[in-house]
């Protein structure tokens, strides 16, 4: 009888250890952080997507561009090559959501100040008003670091097409102008392959916190 219980004790210990190993393995598998989603036109709200690309389900990327920043320098996709960046759409004379968005972008800028992998890009939706000199003035007021953050202006048609066909960031309802746009409060997180990895409410402190966490997650994808 004692022998039976002795054998049972060893079995119980062995079973416990095996169970602990199995549980540890399952926990490790389940706790692996999922990568951020990749957004394509087909899985974004249709009001933000040009009708010509609403069917696209994969391989969506930010198109090539050529715009002018607050210093009068031409900015293209090459300036963001192999970079993670946060993009948005704004205008300098906006008195509603834009100041809040810009202040939050400034907070992001402070957080990524020493991170060479991350940059910021803000597109003016009123390029006729937002000349280089106007952007420069605005940049000084808002504390823009020229090395991290470009405020860009340029051809309205190009900016509109970037907004509707690349960043999926603005609504088409406007005043009737073919290239009129109503920008949203969204910030877009763009990866090194020029893919959209997240949308965030640029007026919400909580959303900005989530964005900063997602930047860390995205950076980890390139480190693993």
Residues shown for the chain:
224
Question: Are 110 and 214 contacting, i.e. CB atoms less than 8 angstroms apart?
Answer: no
126 Cβ contact list (under 8 Å, min separation 6): 91, 92, 93
Rg of the chain over CA atoms, in angstroms? 24
CA distance 117 to 80: 9
123 annotated ligand-binding residue: no
CA distance 26 to 221: 22
The CA–CA distances, whole Å, from 2 to 12, 14, 72, 80 equal 15, 18, 89, 74
55 annotated ligand-binding residue: no
94 annotated ligand-binding residue: yes
CA distance 150 to 78: 13
CA torsion, ordered 194, 197, 203, 206, to nearest 10 deg: -140
Tell me phi and psi for residue 61, to 5 degrees.
-140, 160
CA distance 220 to 215: 9
Annotated binding site: 94, 98, 183
The binding site for Cu cation comprises: 94, 98, 183
């Amino acid at each position: 009888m004692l022998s039976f219980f002795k054998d049972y004790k060893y079995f119980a210990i062995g079973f416990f250890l095996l169970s602990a190993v199995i549980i540890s393995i399952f926990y490790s598998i389940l706790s692996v952080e999922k990568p951020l989603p990749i957004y394509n036109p087909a899985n974004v709200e249709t009001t933000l997507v040009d009708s010509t690309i609403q069917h696209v389900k994969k391989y969506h990327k930010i198109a090539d561009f050529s715009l002018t920043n607050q210093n009068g320098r031409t900015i293209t996709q090459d300036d963001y090559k192999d970079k993670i960046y946060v993009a948005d759409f704004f205008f300098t004379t906006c008195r509603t959501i834009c100041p809040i968005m810009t202040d939050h972008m400034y907070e992001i800028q402070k957080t990524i100040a020493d991170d060479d992998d991350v940059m910021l890009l803000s597109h003016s939706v009123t390029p006729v008003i937002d000349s280089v000199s106007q952007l420069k003035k605005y940049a000084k007021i808002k504390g823009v670091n020229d090395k991290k953050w470009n405020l860009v202006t340029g051809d309205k048609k190009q900016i509109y097409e970037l907004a509707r066909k690349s960043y999926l960031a603005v609504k088409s309802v406007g005043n009737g102008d073919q290239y009129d746009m109503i920008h949203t409060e969204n910030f877009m997180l763009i990866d090194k392959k020029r893919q959209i990895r997240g949308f965030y409410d640029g007026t919400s402190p909580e959303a900005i916190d989530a964005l900063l966490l997602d930047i860390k997650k995205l950076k980890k994808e390139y480190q693993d």
